[in-house]
Every structure is written in C-alpha cells, then in structure tokens.
C-alpha cells in the first residue's frame, strides 16, 4: 500500500464559492488543492450575464492567497429570459466555458431557473453551435414525485429529449447520485459526462438520520440508498473518462444549516481531495484517482491538463470543527473526524 501519492494537480468541475465575506474563507481552501474550478452561478441575484460573471471572477481572484494560482471558470445561470446573444459574449471572454441549467425550484437559489426547456431552446442551440458546455442539475421539480426519485425521473422526462433535440450539445449531468444516472451516462456518447461529489461516494441516506437528524449531511440531490452509493464508487473508480471530480462544495452558515428549515449543501471545499483519496483507497483503486480528479474533466472541457502536481500522504489528521464564516461559522463535512489522507503543502 503506497504511503504517498503524486497526482497531476486536480480541478473541481462543480463548486459553489458564494460571494462577499464567504470568499475569504472558502477560496483559499479550494485554491490549495485545485488549479481550476467550474464556479456555480447561483448567487442572489444569480449570475446571468458575462459582465456579472467577470466581475464575480475578479472578486474570487482577489481572495486567492499570494503564491497560489487558481483559475475560476465561470458559468452563466440560465433563466427563461436568457438572451441567445449572451452565449457568444461569454465564449469570447475566454473565462466562461459553461452555462448552468437549474430547473426552477430544484435547489438552493434556483427560483429564477428554467421553468420549461422550450424557453431556452434558442440559447441551447447557440451553445451547441459554439461548443459551450451545459451543466445540468438533473432533478425534476414536480412536488408529486418522491424526492428520492427525482434524479431518475429527470433522465426520461428531460435529459433524453434534451440530448435528442440538441445532438451535438455537450452536457454534464451534475452531481449524479443514482445507479440509474450512472447507467445512463455509461451508455451515452462521449458528449455526455457526469460529476460525482465526495458525500455521495461516502454516505448513503442512513447518514441523514444517524442517532438523530444530521443537517450537515443534507444536500441536493439528497443522499440515496447503499446500492446507489456503490454504483457511484464503481463509476468513479472504474476509469471511465465520462466520470470526473466535482465536489459540489456548497457552504452555508451554521445558522442556515441547523435550522427548522435547513439549507441543502455540504461543505467539502476544505478537504475534498483527501475525502476522495479515502474513498478510492477503501475501494482499492488509488491508481484511478488521478484520471478522475485531474484528467477526465479537463479532457471533456477541451482544456489542457495541469502540469504541476500535488502530493497526498497517508497521515491521520483531524478536520476542524468549524471555520469562521462572515459573522457566523461554517461546519465542514466530517467536522471533528480523523481523515487518513492529507494533502502535503509545499
């Protein structure tokens, strides 16, 4: 068993950094591990224009610690009113390689999302033409559909028609959580890919209720059964180039998580790579970590792989109980627990 592992520096293909004082907490954590990240646009108000995305990018860059280099890859939040002309502006900027499709009401700050795919068909056609990637939150929003079934239902109800209507559009099925999604992506063409989070690889839905209600394990899509978790581990560790790292690190202040209507989102930005390493190690698949974390995503997005490296070492360390976060605190995934892998900082 190797005691250290050198990887091409990884990228995070799905990340929430928030804005304002939050940036000072979370940007250094991500920049320590990742060279680039696809930054989600679900701010309040959402990032719907290239101009807003570039201004947000500057605020993120201002929070990168000296000596680290971090390239935020920005996304636009699609609404029913997105102007198709915005797509060429975004592509021309060189900093906005993707748009994000939130079905309206699916998750945190998705109220202004798309109510019907037909409303963005001109935008999707333009993205297809220009080679822009579409990142999709893959859950139906119909309140009559059981929350545990919303991802599987999305495949037939939305994704298959979308891929049929836009046959060259490149699509990332974000944060997949089910065996259904894994099977679908595995059987799809190479223009379809999926990101997988650490929490969906580590936990099944029992983790929401261990000894009581566990708000820090609540995210969307919600954790699923053990059979789904093992399908995700097989997909992540199996070497298939269509599956890659996307933490979906989604920080919320403690008061917003530990509440009578707590927000969805797990904070893994501090230690994501170490969490993934533990999962791959437990699966006996450390050799597959580099492809998943550092190669497949860059290849899918058509970007050069990073050339520098990071080193992980087998060494126990305790995850802090919380971080300062604006006026409140941010509780990370596995707070207070001991992790078996540590990122060496040079």
The binding site for ligand NCD (CB under 6 A) comprises 16, 42, 107-108, 137, 219-220, 248, 250, 264-265
- Shortest Å distance, C-beta 300 to Zn ion: 17
- CA dist 228 and 179 (Å) reads 5
Write the CA distances from 184 to 78, 153, 296, integer angstroms. Answer: 24, 12, 18
Query: Cβ closer to ligand NCD: 70 or 102?
Result: 102
| Contact partner, 335, from Zn ion, ligand NCD, none, Cβ < 5-8 Å per class | none
Check whether the bond before 45 is cis (ω within 30° of 0): yes
- Shortest Å distance, C-beta 105 to ligand NCD: 11
Q: Choosing from 248, 281, 308, 327, which is the catalytic residue?
A: 248
| Contact partner, 219, from Zn ion, ligand NCD, none, Cβ < 5-8 Å per class | ligand NCD
Query: Cβ closer to ligand NCD: 125 or 222?
Result: 222
- CA dist 286 and 277 (Å) reads 7
Q: Out of 248, 274, 281, 290, name the contact with Zn ion by CB under 5 A.
A: 248
Catalogue the long-range contacts made by 201-207 (C-beta closer than 8 Å, 24 or more residues apart).
201/229, 201/232, 201/233, 201/236, 201/275, 201/276, 201/279, 202/229, 202/275, 202/278, 202/279, 203/229, 204/228, 204/229, 205/148
Which stretch, 64-72, 119-127, 185-193, 246-254, contacts Zn ion (CB under 5 A)?
A: 246-254
Query: Cβ closer to ligand NCD: 112 or 342?
Result: 112
- Shortest Å distance, C-beta 59 to ligand NCD: 17
- Shortest Å distance, C-beta 183 to ligand NCD: 22
Which stretch, 58-66, 208-216, 226-234, 245-253, contacts Zn ion (CB under 5 A)?
A: 245-253
274 interacts with Zn ion by CB under 5 A: no
Query: Is 116 a known active-site residue?
Result: no
Query: Cβ closer to ligand NCD: 50 or 197?
Result: 197
| Contact partner, 108, from ligand NCD, Zn ion, none, Cβ < 5-8 Å per class | ligand NCD
> What is the signed CA dihedral for 257, 263, 265, 267, rounded to 10 degrees?
-30
DSSP-assigned states of every residue in 139-206: ----TTS-GGGHHHHHIIIIIHHHHHHSTT-EEEE-S--SHHHHHHHHHS-TTEEEEE-HHHHH--GG
Rg of the Cα trace of the chain?
A: 19
Query: Cβ closer to ligand NCD: 263 or 312?
Result: 263
- Shortest Å distance, C-beta 247 to Zn ion: 9
Quick one: which H or E segment has residue 344?
strand 338-344
Q: List residues binding Zn ion (CB under 5 A).
A: 248
Positions marked catalytic: 248
């Amino acid at each position: 068993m190797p005691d250290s592992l050198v990887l091409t520096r990884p990228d995070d293909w799905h990340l929430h950094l928030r804005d304002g004082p939050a940036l000072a907490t979370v940007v250094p954590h991500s920049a320590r591990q990742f060279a680039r990240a696809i930054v989600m646009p679900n701010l309040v108000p959402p990032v719907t224009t290239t101009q807003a995305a570039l201004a947000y990018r500057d605020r993120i860059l201002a929070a990168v610690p000296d000596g680290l280099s971090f390239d935020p890859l920005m996304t636009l939040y699609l609404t029913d009113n997105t102007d198709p002309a915005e797509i060429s502006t975004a592509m021309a900027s060189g900093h906005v390689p993707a748009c994000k499709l939130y079905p309206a009401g699916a998750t945190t700050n998705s109220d202004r999302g798309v109510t019907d795919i037909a409303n963005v068909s001109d935008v999707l056609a333009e993205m297809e033409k220009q080679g822009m990637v579409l990142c999709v939150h893959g859950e139906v929003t119909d309140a009559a559909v059981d929350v545990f079934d919303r991802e599987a239902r999305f495949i037939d109800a939305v994704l298959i028609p979308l891929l049929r209507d836009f046959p060259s559009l490149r699509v990332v099925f974000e944060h997949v959580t089910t065996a259904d999604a894994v099977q679908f992506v595995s059987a799809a063409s190479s223009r379809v890919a999926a990101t997988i989070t650490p929490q969906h690889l580590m936990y099944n839905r029992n983790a929401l209720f261990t000894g009581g209600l566990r708000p820090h394990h609540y995210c969307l899509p919600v954790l699923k059964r053990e059979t789904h978790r093992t399908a995700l581990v097989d997909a992540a560790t199996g070497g298939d180039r269509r599956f890659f790292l996307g933490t979906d690190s989604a920080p919320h202040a403690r008061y917003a998580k530990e509440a009578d209507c707590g927000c969805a989102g797990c904070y893994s930005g501090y230690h994501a790579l170490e969490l993934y390493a533990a999962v791959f190690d437990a699966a006996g698949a450390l050799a597959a970590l580099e492809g998943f974390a550092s190669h497949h995503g860059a290849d899918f997005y058509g970007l050069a792989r990073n050339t520098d490296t990071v080193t992980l070492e087998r060494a126990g360390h305790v995850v802090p109980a919380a971080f300062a976060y604006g006026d409140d605190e941010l509780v990370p995934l596995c707070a207070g627990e001991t992790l078996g892998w540590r990122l060496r900082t040079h």
